[in-house]
């Protein structure tokens, strides 16, 4: 999880270790989230007020066990979407402004104008020019799984290059239907 190289100094290493040990002390003591992350609690008091760090960790872990978003992501990576146009052609649609942002619940049958890259792992699950497919599309299901996590744990949203979050929904830049 941590990359050490020859450029890492003893000071940087020690700072990381001390930070991890401090986190463990706060976790073991179930320190109040409001004390540790006041901005987080202020942004979503109905979700986080009164929780301790261990409580929050347990809540997140239970969510991951119950919903298994990793399996949804693995399924998205193990299915190959149909390519409608080459990525270079999809880019030309972007340059000529023949694209529009499309919310996750309207992606069925739409062609992505750019890549959709979840972090981690930082590998495209859909390339520009590929079709999202039907309503059972694993790529659409993964974006909806991210929306569900983000709604459950505001402030812990995922980073997905090629997607924008508006009003809790993931939107992807797609080629306009009449341009294809």
The pLDDT mean for the chain works out to 94
Take residue 68 and report the two structure tokens written for it: 């298994």
CATH topology for 81-179 is Ornithine Decarboxylase; Chain A, domain 4 (3.90.100)
Could you tell me if 121 and 145 are in contact, meaning their C-beta atoms sit under 8 angstroms apart?
no
The three-class DSSP label of residue 129 is coil
Q: What is the largest CA-CA distance in the chain?
A: 59
Report the predicted TM-score, pTM, of the whole model to 2 decimal places.
0.87
Q: What is the pLDDT of residues 164-177, one digit of tens each?
A: 999 999 999 999 99
Take residue 37 and report the two structure tokens written for it: 């992350």
Q: What is the pLDDT of residues 115-153, one digit of tens each?
A: 999 998 899 999 999 999 999 999 999 999 999 999 999
* Sequence ranges of the chain with CATH classification 3.90.100.10: 81-179
Could you tell me if 146 and 170 are in contact, meaning their C-beta atoms sit under 8 angstroms apart?
yes
């Amino acid at each position: 999880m941590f990359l050490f190289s020859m450029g890492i100094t003893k000071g940087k290493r020690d700072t990381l270790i001390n930070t991890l040990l401090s986190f463990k002390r706060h976790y073991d003591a179930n320190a109040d989230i409001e004390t540790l992350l006041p901005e987080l609690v202020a942004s979503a008091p109905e979700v986080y007020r009164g929780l301790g760090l261990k409580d929050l960790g347990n809540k997140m872990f239970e969510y991951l066990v119950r919903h298994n978003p990793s399996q949804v992501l693995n399924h998205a990576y193990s299915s190959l979407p149909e390519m409608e146009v080459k990525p270079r052609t999809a880019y030309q649609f972007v340059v000529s402004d023949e694209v529009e942002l499309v919310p996750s619940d309207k992606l069925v049958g739409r062609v992505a104008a750019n890549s959709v890259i979840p972090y981690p792992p930082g590998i495209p699950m859909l390339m520009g020019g590929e079709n999202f497919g039907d309503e059972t599309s694993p790529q659409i299901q993964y974006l909806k799984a991210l929306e569900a996590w983000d709604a459950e744990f505001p402030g812990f949203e995922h980073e997905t290059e090629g997607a924008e979050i508006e009003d809790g929904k993931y939107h992807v830049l797609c080629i306009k239907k009449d341009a294809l």
